[in-house]
Amino acid sequence: MNIDNYISSGAIESYVLGLANAQEAAEVQQLSLQYPEIKQAIANFEASLEAAAFANAITPAASIKQKLMFALQDEFVAPVVSLPKTDVITDATVEAIEEPLVKTAVVRKMNPLRFVAAASVILLVISGGLNVFIYSKYTEANEQVTALLSEKSTLTADNKTMQAKYTDIFASVEALSDTNIIKVSMKGAPGKESNLATVFWNSRTKDVYLYANNLPKTSSDKQYQLWALVDGKPVDAGMLSADCNGVCKLKNIVGAGAFAITLEKKGGSPTPDLTQLQVIGNVKA
């Protein structure tokens, strides 16, 4: 038996608060005899109820004491003893005095106010303890709901991101499967032989797709820019964005004879910096 799970199940709280049925109460009593941890948990919860009751107790106004004393003034009635008119105290006189004392002693009146006061105290203790228990369970449930909602939001966002990626990949695959696609492999410039990138150019729609096979990571103020050589002149074909992790669509190009990539300042440049040439490749029809 997992004692910790049983203690955290709420069975002990229900038992102490009198909310458990006969079978559940008997089970708690039996287990408390077998497992000291359960017995201690019962004692701890009872102590917490008592502490909560006193912590939430309200000091009565001074006038309450006066009203209680007035209501209880007839609670006890002293016997009235009539002494015989004689100057001599005899055994018969003593017996005459003791007999009514023995018979009457002290007469306690069953004042309903005492029961009301006692019941109020008991209800206050139970109410305080029940409030603490309910609030604790409410707080715990609220935290669980908040955590689940947060997790749901995260999963929803992740799902939307993955759907967007799958949509882009599907569109790219569909576009690259076109028979008019021309593949242009751009190899590294001198001194950058390990660099590699590929352009997929649709000779019919003029769409251009870029795949950065192997390009070094840039600094935050730099960005790769694709160029198309049209009639021997460089034409801006678009910037490679930082979030491009696969095949990315850039600008449409008409009549390209070659493609190249340079490293430019972030945002791009109207003319290529040939000292920062990274890769270049010719279009083969």
The more confident residue out of 281 and 82 is: 281
- Provide the pLDDT for residue 106: 47
Average pLDDT value for residue range 188-195: 95
Reduced to 3 states (helix: H, G, I; strand: E, B; else coil), residue 162 is: helix
> What are the backbone angles phi and psi of residue 197, rounded to the nearest 5°?
-150, 160
202: nearest Cα among 148, 247, 160, 150: 247
pLDDT band at 172 (very low <50, low <70, confident <90, very high): low
The more confident residue out of 266 and 83 is: 266
**Model confidence over 3-31: pLDDT tens digits?**
888 888 888 888 887 878 889 899 999 99
Percentage helix, strand, coil for the chain under 3-state DSSP, each rounded to 5: 50, 20, 30
181-282: CATH class = mainly beta
Cα gap 14→12, rounded to integer Å:
5
**Model confidence over 116-137: pLDDT tens digits?**
555 666 666 666 666 777 777 7
Q: Which of the residue ranges 36-50, 94-108, 240-254 would you say has the lowest mean pLDDT?
A: 94-108
- Beta-bridged to residue 265, according to DSSP, are 222
Predicted TM-score of the model (pTM): 0.43
Average pLDDT value for residue range 63-85: 57
- Provide the pLDDT for residue 100: 54
**Model confidence over 218-270: pLDDT tens digits?**
999 999 999 999 999 999 999 998 777 778 899 999 999 999 999 999 999 99
What does the block give as tokens for 23? 């079978």
The more confident residue out of 77 and 265 is: 265
Residue 124 contacts residue 52 (beta carbons within 8 Å): no
- Provide the pLDDT for residue 72: 59
- Provide the pLDDT for residue 219: 92
Average pLDDT value for residue range 55-79: 60
- Provide the pLDDT for residue 263: 97
pLDDT over 70, % of the chain: 65
- Provide the pLDDT for residue 129: 66
pLDDT band at 105 (very low <50, low <70, confident <90, very high): very low
Q: Flag whether pLDDT at 107 surpasses 50.
A: no
pLDDT band at 182 (very low <50, low <70, confident <90, very high): very high
Cα gap 105→87, rounded to integer Å:
26
- Provide the pLDDT for residue 185: 93
Average pLDDT value for residue range 73-84: 54
Q: What is the DSSP letter of 283?
A: -
- Find the angle CA(48)-CA(54)-CA(60) to the nearest 5 degrees: 165
CB count in 10 Å sphere of residue 218: 14
Cα gap 207→149, rounded to integer Å:
42
Q: Kindly report, as residue ranges, where domains of CATH 2.60.40 are found in the chain.
A: 181-282
pLDDT band at 193 (very low <50, low <70, confident <90, very high): very high
Cα gap 268→238, rounded to integer Å:
8
pLDDT over 90, % of the chain: 36
What does the block give as tokens for 168? 């882009």
Residue 201 contacts residue 252 (beta carbons within 8 Å): no
Cα gap 38→32, rounded to integer Å:
5
Cα gap 61→63, rounded to integer Å:
5
Q: Flag whether pLDDT at 203 surpasses 70.
A: yes
- Provide the pLDDT for residue 228: 97
